[in-house]
Amino acid sequence: MKQLLLVVLIFVPFERLLAARPQKILRRGLLTDMAFLFLNGWLVVGGVIAIMAVATLVNRSILPAAVTQTIGDLPYLVQVPIVILIADLGVYWTHRILHVVPAMWEIHSVHHAVEELDWLAAVHQHPLDVIFMKAGALFPLYALGFSAEAIATYLLTYFWQTWLVHANVRLNYGPLRHILVSPEFHHWHHSSETAARDKNFAGLFSFYDVLFGSAHLPKGQNPKTFGVDHPMPSSYLALLAYPIVAWTSKRKRNDPPAAQPHMPSGGEPAQPRQIAPLS
């Protein structure tokens, strides 16, 4: 709770001083985001414990002892940059999977449903989304045997980075914009503009997007609209259920008809009734 209070005390005035877009503090969707903030943690913790347990099993039973011992013997100051590089590479690829695999996008679209982007949008994520991305970041770290202190340093760094890159602030990092992920860089990731879709996946190091051809950072331009191009629920419980509803709806649309369709006078099969958009 103290950490959350500190986040509020930092980012609320920060967004007033360096606002990228005019936006109210008491914006639309604020109560839903507060529900994500206070309830998601209880749903995620079990998944994180499972990730750590499986990774520890791999560390002790599969990886050669020489590998884990060598990593464990590295000094803390050497481990930390390696841990951050490995974890963010994991974030990059799990994040990209969430976008390019249709079934996974139904989960991740909950996060992209935010249309008024600010610091609190960082927590507007489905628990399955959070667990999957944490698996990408944390599993290799625990499996390889990095120290708890080095992993904790990464988690603290990523904690503050997540709030910052979603914040409604004007920060682009100048010459470092293609090395480090800035708010400007991540705002483009949330943009609903066609050219920005499925771009800018990294969490800390934008050079991963440059390396893998997914960077989008047009100079002198800023994203103007956010969100997805289909209706999304607005309440917390409806957003939790959204992926299941979407999967079920899609499966029904793809199921072959049980009987031969009625043939109208024109000789062509009658078209199935269109399913109403999810809301």
| Both tokens assigned to 169 | 């602030």
Q: What are phi and psi of 226, to 5 degrees?
A: -130, 165
C-alpha distances out from residue 3 to 7, 16, 156, 275, Å:
6, 20, 11, 45
Q: How many CA atoms lie within 13 A of 166 on its CB side?
A: 22
List residues bridging with 37 in a β-sheet.
none
Beta carbons of 91 and 133 less than 8 angstroms apart: yes
| Both tokens assigned to 43 | 């749903």
| Both tokens assigned to 268 | 């062509």
Beta carbons of 151 and 83 less than 8 angstroms apart: yes
Question: What SS3 state is found at 169?
Answer: strand
| pLDDT in single tens digits along all 279 residues of the chain | 778 899 999 999 999 999 999 998 889 899 999 999 999 999 999 999 999 999 999 999 999 999 999 999 999 999 999 999 999 999 999 999 999 999 999 999 999 999 999 999 999 999 999 999 999 999 999 999 999 999 999 999 999 999 999 999 999 999 999 999 999 999 999 999 999 999 999 999 999 999 999 999 998 899 989 999 888 999 999 999 999 999 998 888 776 654 444 433 333 333 322 333 333
Q: What is the pLDDT of residue 13?
A: 95
Tell me the H-state helices in the chain. 2-17, 30-61, 65-72, 76-100, 102-112, 127-144, 148-166, 183-190, 207-211, 236-254
What b-and-e string marks burial along 230-256, b requiring 16 or more CB atoms within 10 Å of the CB? Answer: eebbeebeebbebbeebeeeeeeeeee
